[in-house]
Amino acid sequence: MLIIDWDVHHGNGTQALVEDQSGIHFVSMHQWPWYPGTGAANDRGPHNSVWNIPMAAGLAPSAYVDALERGIDKATSGFVPDIVLVSAGFDSLAGDPLGGFTLELEHVAQLTRSIVERANGWCGGRVVSALEGGYAPDRVGAACVTHLGALA
């Protein structure tokens, strides 16, 4: 299993749940420094099955897209997931009151398509996505529509 978390906050709860299981690889990209303060790049979990990607606020959107894709590549080097879970936090969009990332809807679509294409190769396209953060309701709604469209 691969879990990909693009919520603007570190997936500290998810990491705590899965880091003891070497068969679950977890990639979290998050703003740094930022709440909850965990998720340093050198925190790889006890089995080195965690890839934390701390990122500064206010970078170009492509910096976040590229960093997450590189993280996914590292997490799947020599590891073929049987299913992919997405922690789809839309507080990583530009304009969110609780985050400083700069993603737009086109980047949500780009990342989603990238994950689906990879999952098609790994595991017959088995992707499950769960809505996480997002505090600008109009933006979250639009991002959900975009994300679901790209998943389909």
Question: What 3-state class would DSSP assign to 31?
Answer: strand
In 10 A of CB 152, how many CB atoms?
7
What is the 3-state secondary structure of 47-87? Answer: CCCEEEEEECCCCCHHHHHHHHHHHHHHHCCCCCCCCEEEE
Return d(Cα 138, Cα 143) in angstroms, integer: 9
Which of these segments, 2-10, 65-73, 105-113, 141-149, binds Zn ion (CB under 5 A)?
Answer: 2-10
Cα diameter, the chain: 40
Q: Select the span of 58-66, 77-85, 119-127, 128-136 touching Zn ion (CB under 5 A).
A: 128-136
Q: By C-beta, is 46 or 141 nearer to Zn ion? A: 141
- 133 lies in the site for Zn ion, by CB under 5 A: yes
Give the 3-state secondary structure of residue 129: strand
Closest CB to Zn ion among residues 116, 131: 131
Interface with Zn ion, residue 91, by CB under 5 A: yes
User: Which single residue brings its beta carbon nearest to Zn ion?
Assistant: 133
Q: Nearest distance from residue 9's CB to Zn ion, in Å?
A: 4
96 counts as binding Zn ion under rule CB under 5 A: no
Nearer to Zn ion (CB atom), residue 11 or residue 81: 11
Residues binding Zn ion (CB under 5 A): 7, 9, 89, 91, 133
